[in-house]
Each structure stands twice: as C-alpha cells, then as structure tokens.
C-alpha cells in the first residue's frame, strides 16, 4: 500500500484504477483491482478530478403531440448584422418534445415584451394550423420567463409553465438552428439570415428523426405510429444503473462546466453532502433520484453524484452583496448615529465615569 500511495502522489503519475496496477506490476508490486479502487475512493483529489462517464439513465417521455413543449432563445452574437436582419440579433426557439417539431421567431431583444410577443405568435400559428396549443411548457430560469407578462400569457391559454434546470430538447434545437444558419452564412458569404429562417425551419421539420423513424411533420399526422417507434427507441437506449445509493451515503456533486472552462478545474465538488432521501424510478424509462442535505433546489441522478468516504462538509452560504440603494441607506444610518444628539438621561450616563468596585457617595 505504501508503494501505491507513493506512486499516486508522484507528479504526472496515472490516477486511474486500471493504469495504476499495471505500472505497479512493472515495478514488482502486485495489487488487486479492489485494493486500488478502495484506495482511490479515499483520496479526495482523485474524486474531485475524476472523469465519470454519463449514462443514458433517463428518457423524456411524452405520449402525444402538443403535450409538452420546451422553449429557449439563441443569440447569434458576432454572426449577426443588425441592419441586414431588421435589427434582430436573437431567435426564440420552441420544440414539441413528442414530435420534435421546431418553431423559430426572430426578436430584437430578449426582454419580457419581445419574448412574450414571439411566444404569442407561435401559439397563434399552431392554433390556426392545428387547432392545438401545448398543455405544458418547460423553460430555464431566464428573466423573461418569470415576468408578469409571460405569466399572463400562460394563464390566458391555460398553459402550465415550469422552470427546469436544463431544457435538453430546446438546447438541442438551438444548436441545430444555429448550425444551419452558420452553413447559410458561409455559403452566401454575407450576414443576412432572417430571409431564410422560415425555409430553414421547414426543412428541419422535414428531416427524419432517429427515434421517431419519421419526420416531425409525419409524427404529428401519425402520432400512434410515432409513439410505437419512440417506445422501441427508448427501451433500446435506456441503460441500467450500475448501483443504487442508500440514505446516509456521502457524495460529491458534479460541477457544471461551461464550454471554455479551464481543464484543470475539478469535475466534482470539494463539498461533501449526505443523501437524505431516495426517490424510486417513476417508470421503466427513468432512474432513481436523490435529495441531498443542504440543497433544496434540485434532485440528482447517478450521473450527477459520486460516492466518497470523506466526512460531510458544512457549506457556508455566501452573503448576497448589497445593491446601491442598500449601501446608501446603510451609509445614511451611520451618519445619523454620529450626528443625532442623545437624550439627556443617556448623555449624562454616557459621560459618567464607569469605575468598577467604587460605589457613588451618598449625599
């Protein structure tokens, strides 16, 4: 074990459960895989930087078109020329989770007014073409989706709106639309995309989807056949859970990294949490979910956590910084404390010497 520990802490040495025993064997030390894994489980640095493969444990289940939608917006950034695109720099994207049908509306800004008007346009278009609107709409926690105007629109059409941690279908559609726009801009050699957006979305909705085995347009026309194909696809891609954690298990949580996050940053958190509740799978297409002590905003799956033997850490909540008005109010209160005169009784008490052990003389 001493040889294993020495090798592990050698700069540049391998840290995997497969490569470590091989290197030790070349040096004449024969250790079992279980011994190496137990050692790595007790090492915090290995757990924090370990690459844990994501398994396909949960499948998004919907039974019919227009049951659940997802929405997100894409910003074109440097690929946009405002004058050529009627001042629009963003596109609101909606996708039907069952049929994978995509809708896209260009907007100038992503404020509550623009996003709400664009969503109203998409709903009106579907009511006129199909006579249907979504029962449920999933979005991220963007500010426009929390506004009073957005809530009024949802209430007007009796749509149940939910904020989720990540809208996977919408984000996938955002990538598809953005990639298609990039191809058009490269082919044409200019920055104008708004005139081809409708044709581009129509072509996306004509493509055959791997899970549906038909296009989104055909899935809306033949929902029963599409559902049968989806169930076969879901059963094929669903992977079994390697293990089910128990209540009381200590775990680290996966760190959500952005695209350009530095590679030397850890994959899992420095903080250690305790599992407080285990939720059973809702159906054959979903996995167990775990609630962690100290985190109330979400639940986790096997992909999001890693078991550890380290003790639970106390997570200090960061104090929210004061805004400009709060800072000004605090400053004014301090000034009032300095300049405001004390009442007569308090002034006399304040100036009276406070000497312990000496009683005032009685007159």
> What domains can you pick out in the chain, each with its CATH number?
2-41 (no CATH), 68-237 (3.30.420.10), 240-335 (2.30.30)
pTM > 0.75: yes or no:
no
State how far the Cα of 124 lies from the Cα of 159, in Å rounded to an integer: 13
| pLDDT at residue 345, rounded to an integer | 56
State how far the Cα of 313 lies from the Cα of 250, in Å rounded to an integer: 10
State how far the Cα of 172 lies from the Cα of 84, in Å rounded to an integer: 27
Given a cut of 60, is residue 259 above it in pLDDT? no
pLDDT band at 260 (very low <50, low <70, confident <90, very high): very low
Question: For residue 159, what are the CA distances in angstroms to 5, 96, 136, 334?
Answer: 58, 14, 6, 50
DSSP string, 256-292: ---TT--TTS-SB-SS-EEEEEEEPPSSTT---EEEE
- Range in 9-23, 159-173, 223-237 the model is least confident about: 9-23
Tens of pLDDT, residue by residue over 171-215, are 888 888 988 888 888 888 888 888 989 999 999 999 888 888 999
pLDDT band at 337 (very low <50, low <70, confident <90, very high): low
Tens of pLDDT, residue by residue over 31-54, are 777 777 777 777 776 667 766 766
Q: What is the mean pLDDT of residues 250-264?
A: 67
To 10 degrees, the CA torsion angle through 103, 104, 110, 111? Answer: -50
| pLDDT at residue 314, rounded to an integer | 63
Averaged pLDDT of the chain: 80
Residues in contact with 225: Cβ distance below 8 Å, sequence separation at least 6, in sequence order: 214
Q: Are strands 160-163 and 136-139 parallel, antiparallel or unpaired?
A: parallel
State how far the Cα of 308 lies from the Cα of 306, in Å rounded to an integer: 6
């Amino acid at each position: 074990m001493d040889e294993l520990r020495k090798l592990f802490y050698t700069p540049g040495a391998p840290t995997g459960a497969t490569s470590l025993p091989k290197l030790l064997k070349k040096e004449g030390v024969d250790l079992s895989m279980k011994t190496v894994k137990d050692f790595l489980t007790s090492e915090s640095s290995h757990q924090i930087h370990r690459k844990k493969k994501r398994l396909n444990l949960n499948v998004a289940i919907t039974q019919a078109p227009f049951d659940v939608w997802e929405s997100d917006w894409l910003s074109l950034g440097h690929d946009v020329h405002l004058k050529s695109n009627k001042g629009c720099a963003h596109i609101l994207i909606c996708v039907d989770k069952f049929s994978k049908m995509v809708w896209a509306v260009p907007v100038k800004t992503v404020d509550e007014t623009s996003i709400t008007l664009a969503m109203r346009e998409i709903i009106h278009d579907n009511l006129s073409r199909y006579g249907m609107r979504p029962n449920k709409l999933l979005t991220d926690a963007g500010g426009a989706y929390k506004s009073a105007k957005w809530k009024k629109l949802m209430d007007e059409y009796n749509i149940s709106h939910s904020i989720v941690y990540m809208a996977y279908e919408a984000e996938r559609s955002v990538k598809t639309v953005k990639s298609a726009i990039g191809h058009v801009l490269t082919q044409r050699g200019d920055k104008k995309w708004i005139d081809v957006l409708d044709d581009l979305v129509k072509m996306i909705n004509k493509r055959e989807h791997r899970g549906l085995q038909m296009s989104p347009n055909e899935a809306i026309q033949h929902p029963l056949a599409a559902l049968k194909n989806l169930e076969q696809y879901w059963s094929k891609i669903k992977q079994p859970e390697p293990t089910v954690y128990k209540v009381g298990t200590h775990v680290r949580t996966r760190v959500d990294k952005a695209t350009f996050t530095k590679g030397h940053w850890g994959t899992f958190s420095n903080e250690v949490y305790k599992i407080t509740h285990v939720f059973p799978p809702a159906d054959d297409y979903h996995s167990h979910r775990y609630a962690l002590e100290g985190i109330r905003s979400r639940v986790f799956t096997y992909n999001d956590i890693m078991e550890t033997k380290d003790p639970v850490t106390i997570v200090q909540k960061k104090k929210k910084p004061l805004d400009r008005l709060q800072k000004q109010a605090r400053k004014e209160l301090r000034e009032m404390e300095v300049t405001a005169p004390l009442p007569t009784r308090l002034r006399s008490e304040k100036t009276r010497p406070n000497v312990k052990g000496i009683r005032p003389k009685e007159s």
